[in-house]
Amino acid sequence: MRRILLSAVKILISAALLYFALRKVSFYDLASRFDVASLGWIGLAVAVTFLQIFVGALRWREISADCGAPLATRQAFRFNLIGTFFNQTLPSSIGGDAVRLWLVARGGAGWRAATYSIFVDRALGLIALAIVIVASLPWSYRLIDDPHGRSALLVIDFAALAAGAGFLILGRLRWPWLKRWWGTHHLHACSVIANRLLFSRWRGPKLATLSVLVHVLTVVIAWCVVRSISAPVLFGQIFQLVPPVMLITMLPVSIAGWGVRETTMALAFGYAGLAGIEGVNISLLLGAVSFMVGAFGGLVWIFSAEKAAKGSNPIEVPEQRVHRTE
């Protein structure tokens, strides 16, 4: 019952925000801006999205190995595709992360190791996104003149940074009760893993690069969408506006970010002195690209061995690699 109510609330939030965001959108005008070249740009956006999922799989593989749930690259990529399907195509509270967790845990890694790998993966992604936004703040301030927009950007970004820093600091604390109390035991363990990975001499730079690349690819996907409709927006503007929007879209208050993404994009474009309607158009096409990739992930799920076997096959353990002494 609780899950049904949560799903209903998310659907209502998405529907309400979409209604307000789409009131001034002319789908006829949007469709008229498409031509043969537009299809090429959308196809490129889809291809870059697959690349982004693969890069995310490479990061998750590194993290999961340290959590005691080793994954082969191919299997991590496949699980990410399946997770994309559940994130983008089903109005439920299950979510792609929960499905990925289930696939890894039922494959023999155990629920704790699977949960840790998903949580640490998400935490590192959030920290990287906040850092990307902070790094672009000098240019964002030149683009956004509105004081409310600047204040909102600062509050959102530094809240994310504070959460990420607090998470990492937790793992550095040596208080014994953090490991014993049920409210902090697992969070502390995840923080210890994240610190060990991030501050590793060899794996740290690799994970940082992969994490930043995931978000840069999001900007590239948005740029392909911009080019598909010849929107009067520069690449630098997209680089400054899209990451904060994606940060807000990560809030689990809607279905696959629908509604939240469109409303936030319209506000961001407005604060930057751009046409808010273009922000909504770009957001809709971003959602469409994600939906197409998610549909492909659905096919992967339908024909997967895990679904056919009413469970999950044992995880394909990659060859053991010897890490250098750190």
Residue 174, SS3 per DSSP: coil
Q: Mean per-residue pLDDT for 312-323?
A: 46
Residue 2 lies in a domain: no
Instruction: State the pLDDT confidence band at 313, using cuts at 50, 70 and 90.
Output: very low
Q: What percent of the chain is modeled with pLDDT above 90? A: 52
Residue with token string 């979510």: 95
CB 125 within 8 A of CB 232: no
More confident residue, 183 or 256: 183
Q: What is the pTM of this model?
A: 0.87
Is residue 24 pLDDT above 90, yes or no? no
Does 26 reside within a domain?
no
DSSP state of 272: T
pLDDT tens for each residue of 204-252: 999 999 999 999 999 999 999 999 999 999 999 999 999 999 988 887 7
Retrieve residue 215's tokens: 């978000």
pLDDT at 110: 87
5 falls within a domain? no
Does 275 score more than 80 pLDDT? yes
pLDDT in tens, 29-72: 888 889 889 999 999 999 999 999 999 999 999 999 999 999 99
Answer whether residue 23 is part of any domain.
Answer: no
**CA dist list (Å): 25 to 120, 185, 264, 281, 284:** 39, 49, 15, 8, 10
In a domain, 4, yes or no: no
Quick: pLDDT tens for 67-107. Answer: 999 999 999 999 999 999 988 765 554 578 888 998 998 87
Total domains in the chain come to 1
- The answer to the question of residue 70 being in a domain is yes
pLDDT at 89: 61
Q: Which parts of the chain fold into alpha helices (H)?
A: 2-22, 27-32, 36-66, 73-88, 95-104, 111-135, 137-143, 147-172, 176-180, 185-198, 203-228, 235-249, 260-271, 276-302, 305-308
pLDDT score at 320: 43
Q: What is the mean pLDDT of the chain?
A: 86
Residue 164 falls inside a structural domain: yes
Determine the pLDDT at residue 310.
53
Neighbouring residues of 106: CB distance < 8 A, sequence distance ≥ 6:
306, 311, 312
Domain limits for position 130: 36-301
Instruction: Flag whether 50 is in a domain.
Output: yes
